[in-house]
Amino acid sequence: MIGLEIVVKIHPEKRAEFLQAFEMLQTVDQPLGRRLDLELFERLNEANTFLWLEHWDNQKSITVYYNENKFRAMMGAIDVLGELVHKRTFSVEEEKQNA
């Protein structure tokens, strides 16, 4: 599994616009099952600083996603609504629990 982590700082007056733009990412123009998870968190002690996390089934799926209009539009919106702090992908290994 591949993880995507993006941290952004949004201008306070652009918060609502950012959250609305993020909502468009809820649906992906790919067959279901490729994106396993999508979450957005806000830092408690740093208003308008968000951690955006996604988990994908494989590298090919996330590469296709990076080229989708929705993702590219969101990254462009971040440039207008605030600033990108960092963006990275990482491998995720799931632990299997013995029942």
Residue 96, SS3 per DSSP: coil
pTM over 0.75: yes
Q: What is the pLDDT of residues 46-91, one digit of tens each?
A: 999 999 999 999 988 888 889 888 899 999 999 999 999 999 999 9
Q: Which residue has the tokens 């007056």?
A: 13
What is the domain range of residue 79? 2-91
Alpha carbon distances (Å) from 14 to 41, 68, 86, 93: 17, 24, 19, 36
Could you give the CA distance from residue 78 to residue 97 in angstroms, rounded to a whole number?
A: 39
Q: Can you give the CATH number for the domain in which 26 is found?
A: 3.30.70.100
Alpha carbon distances (Å) from 78 to 9, 84, 98: 9, 7, 42
Q: Give the model's confidence band at 43: pLDDT under 50 very low, under 70 low, under 90 confident, else very high.
A: very high
Pair 42, 88: CB distance under 8 Å: no
Residue 97 lies in a domain: no
pLDDT value at residue 25: 83
Q: Give the model's confidence band at 30: pLDDT under 50 very low, under 70 low, under 90 confident, else very high.
A: low
Pair 37, 26: CB distance under 8 Å: no
Q: What is the mean pLDDT of the chain?
A: 89
Which H or E run includes 66? helix 59-66
pLDDT at residue 10 greater than cutoff 80: yes
Residue 18 lies in a domain: yes
pLDDT value at residue 5: 97
What's the number of domains the chain is made of?
1
- What mean pLDDT is predicted for residues 18-29? 84
